[in-house]
């Protein structure tokens, strides 16, 4: 039996002992959009449609210096870097994409931001699923946030 999934229910499922802060963000395109802060990483919990999935996700945008460094990497080193990143992304239960500044899918060499999303469908929604999704997205965001170290580890 699926219980009604309301903004209030979702908020009550977010474990305040694990997160630092939860704010409801105004979003005309969503039933609700919470911004959850976990160890200085912000993750959104959004529901766009009344019977749609709960989307747990975020985007990480890289600055000009990092994007330039990625483009200028030796192709072999860049391939090693993207292989490591993909290994982490595919191990997590998230959908991901390398996007340009307009949201189009691009090759990693042309990345502007990385999009991450974990979907929880209504028939599986629970506090456990929500918190697991938040932690999974947080882990990947932490990993991607340290891209400078990752680049240094593959550059020959």
Which residue ranges form the domains of the chain, and what is each CATH number?
7-154 (3.30.1460.10)
Residue 84: CB partners within 8 Å, gap ≥ 6?
150, 153, 154
Percent of the chain at pLDDT above 70?
97
Based on DSSP, count helices (H) and strands (E) in the chain, helices before strands: 5, 6
- Which of 84, 75, 141 lies closest to 109, judged by CA? 75
pTM of the model: 0.89
CA distance linking residue 118 with residue 113, whole number of Å:
17
- Local confidence band at 84 (pLDDT 50, 70, 90 cut-offs): very high
Residue pLDDT, tens place only, 127-155? 999 999 999 999 999 999 888 888 888 87
Q: How far apart are the C-alpha atoms of 49 and 51, rounded to whole Å?
A: 6
CB 106 within 8 A of CB 125: no
């Amino acid at each position: 039996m699926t219980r009604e999934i309301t903004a209030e229910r979702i908020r009550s499922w977010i474990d305040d002992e694990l997160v630092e802060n939860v704010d409801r963000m105004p979003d005309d395109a969503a039933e609700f959009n919470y911004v959850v802060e976990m160890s200085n990483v912000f993750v959104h919990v959004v529901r766009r449609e009344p019977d749609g999935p709960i989307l747990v996700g975020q985007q990480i945008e890289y600055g000009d210096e990092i994007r330039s460094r990625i483009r200028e990497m030796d192709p072999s080193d860049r391939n090693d870097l993207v292989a490591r990143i993909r290994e982490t992304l595919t191990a997590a239960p998230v959908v991901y994409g390398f996007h340009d500044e307009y949201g189009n899918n691009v090759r990693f060499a042309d990345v502007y931001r990385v999009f991450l999303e974990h979907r929880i469908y209504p028939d599986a929604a629970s506090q456990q699923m929500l918190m697991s999704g938040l932690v999974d997205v947080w882990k990947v965001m932490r990993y991607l946030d340290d891209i400078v170290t990752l680049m240094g580890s593959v550059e020959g």
